[in-house]
Amino acid sequence: MKFKLVVFLILAVLILIVILQNMENIAFQILFWEINMPVVILVLLSILVGFAFGLLAKRTSSKQ
């Protein structure tokens, strides 16, 4: 098997394990709203928001 395929399969299995372990719902509050969602979705949203802020920071710093 090719090396990239083996690495991809290992990462896919690890991600699946993390997803299956973090399916319980949690409740958190943002200002006046209480939101219920699985932990894994909250983690993914946090990663995406952090990535977006990082890209914005890089763009604004490279323009100066």
pLDDT of 21-63, one tens digit each? 888 999 989 888 999 998 888 888 888 999 999 999 888 877 6
Looking at the structure of the chain, the number of domains it has is 1
Assess if residue 11 is contained within a domain: no
Residue 48 lies in a domain: yes
* pLDDT reported for residue 63: 66
Q: Is residue 13 part of a domain?
A: no
Question: 57 lies in a domain?
Answer: yes
Q: What is the mean pLDDT of residues 1-6?
A: 87
Rounded-to-integer distance, Cα 13 and Cα 21, Å? 12
Helix (H, G, I), strand (E, B) or coil at 24: coil
Residue with tokens 């710093």: 61
Whether residue 64 is predicted with pLDDT greater than 80 in this model: the reply is: no
Does residue 43 form part of some domain?
Answer: yes
Residue labelled with tokens 């991600």: 15
Domain range for 35: 23-64
Distance CA 26, CA 20 (A): 15
CA distance 36 to 16: 22
Judge whether 36 lies within some domain.
Answer: yes
